[in-house]
């Protein structure tokens, strides 16, 4: 039996709006067809959240209202189920394209480009995500196409969210908050880190009581003393101890939209050093939030933060945020000194103030935020404190 | 304070053994230095399991006993903590390499190659994982190097595990079994899929009672009626119902080694169609397991499975397995008709018999297995049955 369509995260009109923006950009870049290979960009344009391990491509053609999604045959039912696309627009390629040195899923994508009759025109590729051999395959098998690099073209369009997307990101933020709340309940002296993480992760999936569930997951990051200067390590099998400091970075996920949050926990009273750093960071976060409004730049927000932090006697080496949306980070705007991206309403960022001061000492705090018409909305709602256990 | 070394998953001698095998292969390929960019291969050669979002590289040089790991500065403490490497062998590059169009982490890797004095010789790159612009950067900035493509060279070496690695994979398999057991406890009519997945995922992290914990995680795949023909979708917010069939693919993780397992669940008695397919698959799995022994090929195992399945009136389109180890799949041997890889002791595979018969009907069963000196050891231990709720 044909698979039925599942519930859609957004109405068809929302996807057509996004496609219209992409097609305008395609006209500007003089491409007739654009091959989208970034998973996040495919989610954006179709609603697909199937986890596709095999090579795939979404072909957006100026001549067609709906794009054509080319995926491994076994992924086609999931893509039909999840996307707004007409089922004829989902092409499953056979297993003979899998695990072969001479032929892979991009050959199926190229076949579809030829069948759509757009092989001899301007062809956009996200070259920044393609390996050399993949780029060569497109060039060799489509010798009459004029290939144009469209890396990050859709990523920049994704930067400004619709109100519908913001509503989903608010749900994701509530899931992240629920997980932070759970962390405060389960981190206790004598508990194995992994056992606490099991509970916190369950909260990321379950979501807030009575609210929507997490629909995807990235494993959270948890580093505790003496690893608090190591931001990207996972939990260990150590037991939490009296006096332990614990830094957590986690996320809520809705329909592949992600709201991250970071909080610092202390079992017992925090050290003076930690307390001073926290106070400095929270006041610098206020300064950064005050600086957010349409017309300002990412650089101005970053510098408001850096100035306030330095006034309080600390320094942060790394950028203090980045654009967020589908699949966590958008590879576009950074909240950094030299990023002159102008803020616009419904841009969203992870204002990420994690600060790794020494090899064995770091501190984290962050919020997921939205630029509003006149200022800022903080999407995550957890209290901005060192959470004392 | 300098960060302390953490507990190591393997003794130093094990890493030196792996490096010796890689160096032999480098000599064979006439490269003096090899830049490893695959995360799984870096884990293999160093013990690093830090989640590195930024560009990085491990430089294995014939002239040095220990390789040099070049990572973003903030990731250096985690890498020092987790790896067997001398701290001088972990180079953290500054934030000025982050988020810049003209300069990125690979420039820091290239700088380190120059400082090691190996810039003018045979240089191996994993080109199959590099984008065109990355490959061009290495070629342009190292004009005197003779670049040799070493894609999958280490992946093939990883294929044969040491007994120490097998011990870790057995721990991973026990975690996977614990999660399947938990699934049988929490899947109930009227329960929201996401709430059951929260519990199952917690078990993947907690591990078996009194046993080692999961040290990483990939979100599990769960598809229930009417989505059982869509293998790679995640859980939904639907409630389980009487008569629902549920297919689960999940994994246990230890020190980045992964043992996957798939099982099919039925709320109430399974349909005749499902029962017939299950019986056929289980007997074909027996045939495949009987075929596993050193000297046989992947093709022979696959064909033993296909023949037995067809004798029972079913057919499977896709390959029936692949090599496993660090970070799930190894991109090398497939259990497929045309894969003539010879089985050797301590190769490990996911014997993956998922079968998606129709758009709305599929069935899953799988085991993580090891080739022994004389036959096969099944690492996962869950009963090979349709788990009836």
Distance from CA of B168 to the nearest CA of A (A): 15
Residues of chain B contacting residue A219, judged by C-beta atoms under 8 Å apart? 216-218
Minimal Cβ distance to A78: which of B217, B232, B235: B232
- Dist CA A182 CA A190 (whole Å): 17
Confidence at A84, pLDDT banded by 50, 70, 90: very high
Q: In this model, does residue A78 exceed pLDDT 90?
A: yes
The answer to whether domain B163-388 has CATH 3.40.50.12280 is no
pLDDT of residue A309: 97
Q: Is B63 left (phi over 0), alpha (psi -120 to 50) or beta?
A: alpha
In contact, B252 and B372? CB cutoff 8 Å: no
- Dist CA A143 CA A222 (whole Å): 50
What's the average model confidence in pLDDT over B373-386?
98
A–B interface: beta-carbon pairs under 8 A? 218
Q: Which tokens hold the place of A140?
A: 């060799």
CB within 8 Å: B232 and A77 = no
Residue closest to A265 by CA, chosen among A232, A233, A312, A223: A223
Minimal Cβ distance to B232: which of A52, A199, A216: A52
What's the average model confidence in pLDDT over A98-102?
78
The DSSP-derived string for A31-91 is -SEEEE--HHHHHHHH-------S--EEEEETT-SS-EEEEEGGGHHHHHHHSSS-GGGEE
Confidence at A15, pLDDT banded by 50, 70, 90: very high
Taking only the tens place, the pLDDT of each residue in B290-335 is: 999 999 999 999 999 999 999 999 999 899 999 999 999 999 999 9
pLDDT of residue A223: 96
Pick the CATH number of B12-157 from 3.40.350.10, 2.40.160.20, 3.60.40.10, 3.40.1360.10: 3.40.350.10
Pairwise pLDDT comparison (B53 vs B58), residue with the higher score: B58
CB within 8 Å: B194 and A202 = no
Q: In this model, does residue A99 exceed pLDDT 80?
A: no
- In B, minimum Cα distance to A52 occurs at B232
- Dist CA A132 CA A108 (whole Å): 18
- In B, minimum Cα distance to A129 occurs at B131
Confidence at B99, pLDDT banded by 50, 70, 90: confident
CA B381 and chain centroid, separation: 19
Residues of chain A contacting residue B49, judged by C-beta atoms under 8 Å apart? 233-234
pLDDT of residue A53: 87
pLDDT of residue B150: 98
Q: In this model, does residue B286 exceed pLDDT 80?
A: yes
Beta bridge partners of A46: none
Minimal Cβ distance to B216: which of A75, A198, A234: A234
- In A, minimum Cα distance to B318 occurs at A95
Q: What percent of chain A has pLDDT over 70?
A: 100
Distance from CA of B237 to the nearest CA of A (A): 7
Minimal Cβ distance to A359: which of B3, B51, B195: B3
Q: In this model, does residue A98 exceed pLDDT 90?
A: no
Q: Which tokens hold the place of A233?
A: 């390590």
Taking only the tens place, the pLDDT of each residue in A156-204 is: 999 999 999 999 999 999 999 999 999 999 999 999 999 999 999 999 9
Residues of chain B contacting residue A130, judged by C-beta atoms under 8 Å apart? 131-132
Minimal Cβ distance to B50: which of A77, A218, A232: A232
- The overall average pLDDT reported for chain B is 96
Q: In this model, does residue A100 exceed pLDDT 90?
A: no
CB within 8 Å: A234 and B51 = yes
What's the average model confidence in pLDDT over B328-349?
96
Minimal Cβ distance to B206: which of A194, A203, A329: A194
Taking only the tens place, the pLDDT of each residue in A261-319 is: 999 999 999 999 999 999 999 999 999 999 999 999 999 999 999 999 999 999 998 99
- Dist CA A359 CA B5 (whole Å): 12
Query: Taking the CB of residue B257, how many other CB atoms lie within 10 A of it?
Result: 29
Distance from CA of A75 to the nearest CA of B (A): 6
pLDDT of residue B157: 98
CB within 8 Å: B359 and A80 = yes
CB within 8 Å: B356 and A74 = yes
Q: In this model, does residue B219 exceed pLDDT 90?
A: yes
Q: In this model, does residue B101 exceed pLDDT 90?
A: no
In contact, A351 and A369? CB cutoff 8 Å: yes
Range list of β-strands (E), B327-382: 328-334, 348-352, 355-358, 361-363, 366-371, 376-378
- In A, minimum Cα distance to B2 occurs at A359
The DSSP-derived string for B254-282 is ETTEEEEEEEEEESSSPPHHHHHHHHHHH
Domain chopping of chain A, boundaries: 12-157, 163-388
CB within 8 Å: B229 and A3 = yes
Confidence at A17, pLDDT banded by 50, 70, 90: very high
Q: Which one of A97, A139, A219, A227 makes the best mutation probe of the B interface by having the most chain B beta carbons within 10 Å? A: A219
Taking only the tens place, the pLDDT of each residue in A124-145 is: 999 999 999 999 999 999 999 9
- The overall average pLDDT reported for chain A is 96
CB within 8 Å: B234 and A227 = no
- Dist CA A48 CA A364 (whole Å): 33
- Dist CA A20 CA B96 (whole Å): 37
Q: What percent of chain A has pLDDT over 90?
A: 97
Confidence at A86, pLDDT banded by 50, 70, 90: very high
Q: Is the pTM of this model over 0.80?
A: yes
Residue closest to A271 by CA, chosen among A247, A248, A244: A244
pLDDT of residue B42: 98
Q: Which tokens hold the place of A258?
A: 């992600």
Minimal Cβ distance to A231: which of B74, B219, B233: B74
CB within 8 Å: A2 and B213 = no
């Amino acid at each position: 039996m044909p698979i039925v369509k599942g519930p859609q995260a957004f109405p068809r009109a929302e996807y057509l709006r996004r496609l219209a923006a992409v097609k305008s950009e395609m006209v500007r870049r003089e491409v007739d067809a654009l091959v989208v290979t970034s998973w996040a960009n495919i989610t954006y344009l179709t609603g697909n959240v199937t986890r596709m391990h095999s090579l795939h491509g979404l072909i957006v053609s100026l001549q067609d209202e709906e794009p054509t999604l080319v995926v491994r045959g076994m992924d086609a039912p999931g893509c039909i189920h999840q996307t707004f696309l007409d089922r004829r627009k989902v092409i499953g390629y056979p297993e003979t394209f899998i695990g072969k040195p001479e032929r892979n899923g991009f050959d199926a994508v190229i076949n579809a480009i030829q069948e759509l009759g757009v092989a001899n025109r301007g062809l956009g590729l996200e070259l920044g995500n393609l390996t050399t051999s993949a780029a060569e395959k497109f060039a060799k098998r489509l010798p009459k196409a004029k290939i144009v690099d469209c890396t990050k073209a859709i990523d920049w369009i994704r930067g400004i969210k619709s109100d519908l997307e913001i509503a989903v990101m608010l749900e994701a933020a509530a899931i992240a908050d629920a997980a932070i709340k759970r962390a405060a309940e389960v981190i206790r002296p004598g508990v194995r880190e992994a056992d606490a993480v099991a509970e916190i992760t369950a909260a990321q999936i379950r979501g807030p009581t009575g609210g929507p569930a997490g629909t995807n997951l990235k494993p959270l990051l948890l580093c505790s003393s003496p690893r608090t200067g190591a931001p990207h390590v996972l939990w260990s099998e150590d037991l939490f101890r009296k006096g332990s400091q614990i830094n957590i970075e986690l996320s809520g996920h809705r329909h592949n939209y992600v709201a991250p949050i970071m909080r610092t926990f202390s079992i017992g009273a925090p050290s003076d050093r930690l307390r001073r750093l926290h106070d400095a960071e929270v006041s610098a976060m206020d300064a950064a939030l005050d600086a957010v409004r349409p017309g300002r730049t990412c650089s101005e927000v970053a510098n408001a933060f850096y100035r306030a932090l330095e006034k309080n006697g600390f320094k942060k080496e790394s950028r203090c945020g980045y654009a967020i949306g589908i699949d966590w980070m958008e590879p576009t705007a950074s909240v950094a000194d030299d990023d002159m991206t102008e803020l616009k309403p419904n841009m969203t960022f992870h204002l990420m103030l994690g600060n790794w001061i020494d090899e064995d000492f770091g501190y984290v705090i962050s919020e997921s935020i939205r630029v509003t018409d006149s200022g800022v909305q903080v999407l995550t709602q957890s209290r901005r404190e060192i959470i004392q256990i």
